[in-house]
């Protein structure tokens, strides 16, 4: 496996019935709302034009909807590399697509970033996407985020950041997997149980795991400024960083 490539992890029942995530991880829906609230409080552009926002890994559009609802002066380009997730986003976000506030692109995050000009985005936002990346690919994505942000622009990421202390993280993961069994066996859906457990193994593997403090240190090393953990609950964290002013 090349740690610099994009993977395709969301297909089959996992993608088609992605809404069941709410049952096994209620914190995800809350985090999507927090990403929207974060963007809501950013200052408007002095010239009165819409803020340009790039969303990485829009999935079915749960976080995108919070972003769209957060303020009117926002133009969003959302990318995802899973056709089955984008197909749902097109339905869920039909109004914003029709009125031009939103564009959806089928692309992996790094390729999408590489098409964008330097200093072209006010905001790059994401939720529960970067933790899916192989670590080498994630580093390249973060470097590209910094390149495409305007000076002073913001990166906000509500995501699964592993607990730094391995024993505590393991305990948390074991609780999580017990929850998967409870929910999916009660629903008599062993197929979904299998898919989510397999997915969790990917999240937890050495080449994917995104531990909080190493992730923050990597942002420092890449050149992000004003790095903050705005919220932390278990493995869930809302992290932000700014591109320095010149």
Ligand X SMILES: C[S@@+](CC[C@H](N)C(=O)[O-])C[C@H]1O[C@@H](n2cnc3c(N)ncnc32)[C@H](O)[C@@H]1O
**Positions that interact with ligand X (CB under 6 A):** 6, 9-10, 32, 57-59, 62-63, 79-82, 85, 108-109, 127-129, 132-133
Which residue in the shown chain puts its C-beta closest to ligand X?
Answer: 59
3-state helix vs strand vs coil in the chain, percent to 5: 50, 20, 30
Identity of the residue, 132 or 195, whose beta carbon is nearer to ligand X in the bound complex: 132
Enumerate long-range contacts of 144-147, CB under 8 Å, 24 or more apart: 144/110, 144/113, 144/114, 145/113, 146/222, 146/223, 146/224, 146/243, 147/113, 147/118
Using the minimum distance from each CB to ligand X, give the nearer residue, 52 or 159.
159
Question: Whole-number minimum distance, CB 84 to ligand X, in Å?
Answer: 8
- Write the DSSP symbol of residue 3: T
In the complex, the smallest distance separating the C-beta of residue 159 from ligand X, rounded to whole angstroms, is 9
Cβ atoms of 54 and 214 closer than 8 Å: no
Q: What angle separates helix 190-204 from helix 166-186, to the nearest 10 degrees?
A: 170
* 140 within 8 A of 113, measured Cβ to Cβ: no
- Indicate the DSSP class of residue 79: E
Nearer to ligand X, 42 or 134 (CB): 134
Instruction: Find the shortest distance in angstroms from Cβ 137 to ligand X.
Output: 7
Report, in Å, the least distance between residue 200 CB and ligand X. Answer: 12
Q: How far is the CB of 118 from ligand X (least distance, A)?
A: 21
User: Contacts by 219-223 with C-beta closer than 8 Å and gap 24+?
Assistant: 219/142, 222/139, 222/142, 222/143, 222/146, 223/146
In terms of CB distance, is 30 or 165 closer to ligand X? 30
Q: Which is nearer to ligand X, 152 or 218 (CB)?
A: 218
- Are 18 and 85 within 8 A, CB to CB? yes
Choose between 108 and 144: whose C-beta lies nearer to ligand X.
108
Residue 132: CB minimum distance to ligand X, A = 4
């Amino acid at each position: 496996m090349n740690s610099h490539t994009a993977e395709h992890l969301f297909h089959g029942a996992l993608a088609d019935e992605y809404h069941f995530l709410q049952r096994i991880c209620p914190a995800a829906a809350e985090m999507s709302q927090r990403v929207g609230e974060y963007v809501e409080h950013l200052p408007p552009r002095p010239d009165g034009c819409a803020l340009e926002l790039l969303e990485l890994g829009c999935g079915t559009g749960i976080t995108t909807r919070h972003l769209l609802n957060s303020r009117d002066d926002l133009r969003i380009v959302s990318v995802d590399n899973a056709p089955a997730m984008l197909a749902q986003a097109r339905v869920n976000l039909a109004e914003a697509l029709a009125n031009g506030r939103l564009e959806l692109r089928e692309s992996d995050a790094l390729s999408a970033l590489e098409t964008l000009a330097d200093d072209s985005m006010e905001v790059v936002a994401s939720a529960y996407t970067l933790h899916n990346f192989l670590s080498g690919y994630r580093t390249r994505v973060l470097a590209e985020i910094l390149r495409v942000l305007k000076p002073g622009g913001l990166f906000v990421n509500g995501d699964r950041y592993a607990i730094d202390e391995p024993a505590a993280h393991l305990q948390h993961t074991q609780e999580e997997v017990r929850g998967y069994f409870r929910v999916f066996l009660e629903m008599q859906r062993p197929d979904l149980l299998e898919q989510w457990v397999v997915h969790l193994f990917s999240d937890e593997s050495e080449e994917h795991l995104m531990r909080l403090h190493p992730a923050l240190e990597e942002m420092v090393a890449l050149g992000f400024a004003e790095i903050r953990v705005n919220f932390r609950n278990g493995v869930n964290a809302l992290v932000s960083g700014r591109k320095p002013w010149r």
